[in-house]
Amino acid sequence: MKEMNGAGVLVKSLEDLGIKHIFGYTGAAILPVFHALRKSSIEIVINSNEQSAAFSAAGYSRSGEGIGVAMVTSGPAITNTLTSVADAYGDSIPLLVFAGQVPEHKIGTDSFQHINVKGIFGDAAKKVIQLSNDEDVESIVKDAYYFAKSGKPGPVVIDFPLDKQQKMHEYGAIDVTIFDQSYRDDRHLNEAQCEAFFQLLANSKKPLLYLGGGLNSRKAS
């Protein structure tokens, strides 16, 4: 077990997941994470604004097997990503969006650049997570990665309070396969379900197939 601040744990967790690039735009409430990224092998792609960062990350997801990661600050920065998150959700595109947030004790106090991320993104994302100071950053980040790509893929938004980024945490280098295996179930069609589907298709006279963008993935084909 190593001890480092929450921002460092986040970056190490992304490295464990094989993340090579992130797309982002910095600001005060996410600065500790950007400082930690300076010491990392992960390349930071600085976009012109937060919406561009999130769309770039989603494009990264669409173009390969990896998951795009966007990193932005609080308030108007995270709300700028809303259209991209909603677009990824509609098209079943896995995506991770990390947002800085005011310190936990200031949430709900109308503090400067505080936004109710859960309330705004609740219907636009597959999942919204607001990290609290008693939660394990490493487990949540690694779980979110595999949750985003499991079943019907989609975007996960993680709200990361500034004090939790600065607070010291334990980093255990948890094996990511533990999280991967937890989502290997029948939400993707198994062999028996595929056989049943093709039997129905073979027996149908006027089949109509409604195929989404997920068909572009290797598993779908």
Which run of H or E residues covers position 70? strand 68-72
Could you give the 3-state DSSP secondary structure of residue 205? coil
Give the predicted TM-score (pTM) of the model.
0.86
**Per the structure block, which two tokens stand in for 24?**
């982002």
Each residue's pLDDT tens digit, 16-70:
999 999 999 999 999 999 999 999 999 999 999 999 999 999 999 998 888 999 9
- The DSSP code for 135 is S
What's the whole-number mean pLDDT along residues 135-161?
A: 94
Model confidence at 217, pLDDT cuts 50, 70, 90, reads: low
State the burial class of residue 209 (Cβ atoms within 10 Å of its Cβ: 0-12, 13-18, 19+).
exposed
The phi, psi pair for 137, rounded to 5°, reads -60, -45
Percent of the chain residues past pLDDT 90, beyond the cut: 76
Model confidence at 213, pLDDT cuts 50, 70, 90, reads: low
Helices (H), the chain: 6-16, 31-38, 50-63, 76-79, 82-90, 117-121, 137-149, 162-166, 177-182, 191-203
What's the CA gap between 41 and 179, in Å, rounded? Answer: 23
What's the CA gap between 191 and 189, in Å, rounded? Answer: 7
pLDDT for the residue numbered 214 = 65
Average pLDDT, the chain: 92
Helix axes 137-149, 6-16, angle to 10 degrees: 40
- For the chain, give percent helix, strand, coil, nearest 5: 45, 20, 40
Residue spans of the domains in the chain: they are 2-180
The CATH H-level (homologous superfamily) assignment of domain 2-180 is Thiamin diphosphate (ThDP)-binding fold, Pyr/PP domains (3.40.50.970)
User: Residue 82 in contact with residue 120, Cβ under 8 Å?
Assistant: yes
